[in-house]
Amino acid sequence: MTYHHLSVLVHRQAEKYGDRVALKYRDYDKGQWIPVTWNQFSETVQIAANAMVEMGIAEQENIGVFSQNKPECLYTDFAAFANRAVTIPLYATSSPSQAQYIVNDAGIRFLFVGEQFQYDAAFTVLPLCASLERLIIFDRAVVKDKQDTTSIYFDEFLKMGEAKQHAAVVEERSSKASFDDLANILYTSGTTGEPKGVMIHHSCYKEQMRTHDIRLVTMTDQDVSMNFLPLTHIFEKTWAYYCIHKGVLTCINLRPNDIQMTIKEIRPTLMCNVPRFWEKVYDGVQEVINQSTGLKKSLMLDAIKVGKVHNVDYLRVGKTPPLMNQLKYKFYDKTIYSVLRKTIGIENGNFFPTAGAAISNEINEFLHSVGVNIVVGYGLTESTATVSCLTMTDYTIGSVGKIMPDLEVKIGENNEILLRGKSISKGYYKKAEANKTAFTEDGWFRTGDAGYIKDGELYLTERIKDLFKTSNGKYIAPQALETKLVVDRFIEQVAIIANQRKYVSALIVPNYEHVIAYAKEKGIEYSSLQELLQNSKIIELFKSRIDTLQQQFAHYEQVKYFALLPEPFSMEKGELTNTLKMKRNIIENNYKEVIDKMYEA
């Protein structure tokens, strides 16, 4: 198969697909999805590439994109690649100080911004960024600051290239484009310390396209992908580029909170996601089951049991299910499973890649049982996403799948997973010391994750940096316990506390809706959420549920005390990264008094 360089990929696909729809985005004013054909996509990229030359953008120059998911993000990316320039995405939720750090570190002159929030944050730091010359605003509704004399809107930017007066320059640059060129610098938000810019070369993307073609054999140009995760994230960025390479229709979800509406409007066959999305699906189903009685409840429980036998116990390992099981499965597939999938908006599902955090075995098994083909995987920004992923059949629940073709993986000291191959980043931008630490002398990248390989499948055990050691000398892997506890419908977020402590405790953010409903059902009176969460009956409810969930853990690994928090962990308080990973040091600092109280006993 031909692997076109990203500098020309959209144009080659336009030659192949013409007026077929390549992208869709939701126009909120009209309440409808606007199609963009491959020809229109190609034309816009060409105009934007000319506008970049007009603006003075040079080859291998760093360009910033600070926006939520919009088609303009892709236009900007591919126009930059046509000019052999490098794009640097910033998370749409980044604070002014985070934006300032990245702009200064990468020496960005031109920053493309999405909506009002991003514009305001960028304009605030404009005087603090020596390199920054101009903001280009995607959304026409953004109100510019009265002092702003340099920013332009994206439509004004496109007018600068409408005549394609620099077509020869763009063509010459594209012809020189090499797979050895730098494509992106992706700044990892980091659970500790300052962000590091991961350099992703065009060769990394080419290798991922090649190996995914080998692994994802059911994916075709008839598929429809919902772009939900931020395009700033390596998982979604690599996936978006891969969808373009495959000729897949990509539907861009602008507002993450609207996914339950937009997924039903699009009803995609593909969608990348993180486990939290599926945890909420699982919680919803459990809630329906818990509220049901009699025959309805029995049928739902039997449907899950039948699905497990059919899909997990038999088909997963290449065996034919017993005839009676097949008949029952067909019945449930037309009734219970199909209603569930249609309710979510995924009844047309092909498969759904899932990564970014650990997913519990229970949820993984449940989804496969009801015919939702999630493809669990593992990867990092530094590996250009996928290191391993489940195959469609012959996979093991509990693993993160088979290692991608031609990628070298070995287990080093402290069971650390080490990587080497064409999809692995060449290092961090302008961070020589970090690179020395991150790579071995013979070129293996240290992931910081511990695990093991069995029968060609990769298993994760813990994050080495997050491994806690109690004051009794026992090691605790907090993620294993957190993943187990967050399955419970009453638990929204969990932070395990144990490092240098005499026993394990936990900060728990409850699912407030469920707790309030439980209080109403049990006639528990309260005047505030804080008071409700300190009620002995609520504490006993959580204690019994936690004790049940943690039975499989050794006694020293189990939560002894916990505190129920009246507000969730948030990015605003610095407790979560842009990818919603916990910053444990910030959480421990913010809740120091609460934590200390749990160790007074």
Average pLDDT of 344-365? 91
End-to-end CA distance of the chain: 65
3-15 pLDDT, tens per residue?
Answer: 999 999 999 999 9
Summarize pLDDT for 45-66 with one digit per residue, the tens: 999 999 999 999 999 999 999 9
Banded pLDDT at 601 (limits 50, 70, 90): low
pLDDT tens-digit readout, 572-597: 898 988 777 888 889 999 999 999 99
**pLDDT computed for residue 391 by the predictor:** 82
194 has pLDDT over 80: no
Is the pLDDT reported for residue 189 higher than 70? Answer: no
CB-CB contact of 441 with 483 (8 Å): no
SS3 441: coil
Q: State residue 4's pLDDT score.
A: 97
Res. 470 pLDDT band, cuts 50 70 90: confident
Tens of pLDDT along 288-329? 898 888 999 999 999 999 999 999 999 998 999 999 999 999
| Distance separating alpha carbons of residues 151 and 157, to the nearest angstrom | 10
Query: How far is residue 371 from each of residues 187, 312, 396, measured CA to CA in Å?
Result: 36, 10, 16
pLDDT in the model for residue 582: 87
User: How many Cα atoms are found within 13 Å in the side-chain-facing hemisphere of 486?
Assistant: 26
Residue 195 has pLDDT above 60, yes or no: yes
More confident residue, 142 or 574: 142
Residue 190 has pLDDT above 60, yes or no: no
Q: Tell me the per-residue pLDDT of 545-559, one tens digit each, with 9 for 90 and over.
A: 999 999 888 788 899
Q: Which tokens is 322 given?
A: 């017993």
Question: Could you tell me the pLDDT band of residue 192, with boundaries at 50, 70 and 90?
Answer: low
Q: 42-47: list long-range contacts, CB under 8 Å, 24+ apart.
A: 42/10, 42/11, 42/13, 42/14, 44/75, 44/158, 45/10, 45/11, 45/75, 45/78, 45/79, 45/82, 46/11, 46/79, 46/82, 46/161, 46/164, 46/167, 46/170, 47/158, 47/161, 47/162, 47/164
- Distance, CA of 411 to CA of 390 (rounded, Å): 20
All structural domains of the chain, each given as residue ranges with its CATH number in brackets, are 9-177+228-256 (3.40.50.12780), 275-421+449-464 (no CATH), 467-598 (3.30.300.30)
Q: What is the pTM of this model?
A: 0.86
Cα 121 from Cα 132, distance rounded (Å): 13
**Residue 461 predicted with pLDDT over 70:** yes
Encode 176-202 in three state secondary structure: HCCCCCEEEEEEECCCCCCCEEEEEEH
The mean pLDDT value for 357-373 works out to 91
Pairing of strands 110-113, 182-188: unpaired
Residues 372-398 have a mean pLDDT of 92
Percent of the chain at pLDDT exceeding 90: 81
Percent of the chain with pLDDT over 70: 99
- What would the mean pLDDT of 517-528 be, rounded to a whole number? 94
Instruction: Find, among 488, 2, 412, the residue nearest to 206 by Cα.
Output: 2
Cα–Cα distance between 180 and 497 in angstroms, integer?
A: 44
- Per-residue pLDDT of 395-414, as tens digits, reads 899 999 999 999 999 999 98
pLDDT of 466 over the 80 cut: no
Strand partners, 171: none
- E strands present in 99-235: 110-113, 134-137, 152-153, 182-188, 196-201, 224-227
